[in-house]
Amino acid sequence: MLLFASEQPEAQGIAALGLNWQMILFQAITFLLIVLFLKKFVVNKILAIIDERQKEINSGLDAAQETKDELAKAQQTIDKMLDKARKDAELIVSGAKSESSDIVKDAEAKASRRADAIVAEAESKLNSDVAKVQQQLKDEAAKLVRDVSVAVLGKKIDSSDDDKLISQALEASSDNKN
């Protein structure tokens, strides 16, 4: 038997590796069938789902970019509006300052004119009162001089002599004061 076992024909080629070419062919055909089945029914659906998902992602990115652009435009618009509002506010404030300054100047001018008018009126009244008082003093001094001259001379002087004496007395008293 030993001999018999040794007389078996030796395997050559693929058989020497312990591989059966019929099994390899069967497995290759099965693999191809599975690949074709998957390609026809599964891979196309998966690719369609991936494409659809990619479109959704792209549209979301586009929408995000549009929103970002709109936000930038809105920010620019807001900045322009704020700048305009600041400029308007500055104009209003400077106008108000100018107007208040003008009002104050006008009020000061009116007050100054009023004060000048009051001072002028007071000076006029004072001058008038001084003139009245001076006239009263002259009249009273003249009366006193007449009374004194009557008492000193013992007689009444006529009116022209009286006036001369009074004038001389008044001039003398004015000169003594100065």
Q: Is 1 part of a structural domain of the chain?
A: no
Residue 3 has pLDDT above 50, yes or no: no
* DSSP characters over 98-148: HHHHHHHHHHHHHHHHHHHHHHHHHHHHHHHHHHHHHHHHHHHHHHHHHHH
pLDDT digits (tens, 9 = 90+) for 149-162: 777 776 666 777 77
Q: Is 8 part of a structural domain of the chain?
A: no
85 — pLDDT class (breaks 50, 70, 90):
very high
Please give the Cα distance from 150 to 142 (Å, whole number).
12
Where in the sequence is the domain holding 163, given as residue range(s)?
Answer: 21-177
Please give the Cα distance from 120 to 126 (Å, whole number).
10
Q: Is 47 part of a structural domain of the chain?
A: yes
Please give the Cα distance from 103 to 109 (Å, whole number).
10
Please give the Cα distance from 166 to 160 (Å, whole number).
10
Look up the pTM and report it: 0.40
In whole angstroms, how large is the CA radius of gyration of the chain? 67
176 — pLDDT class (breaks 50, 70, 90):
confident
Q: Is 16 part of a structural domain of the chain?
A: no
Contact predicate 21/14, CB 8 Å = yes
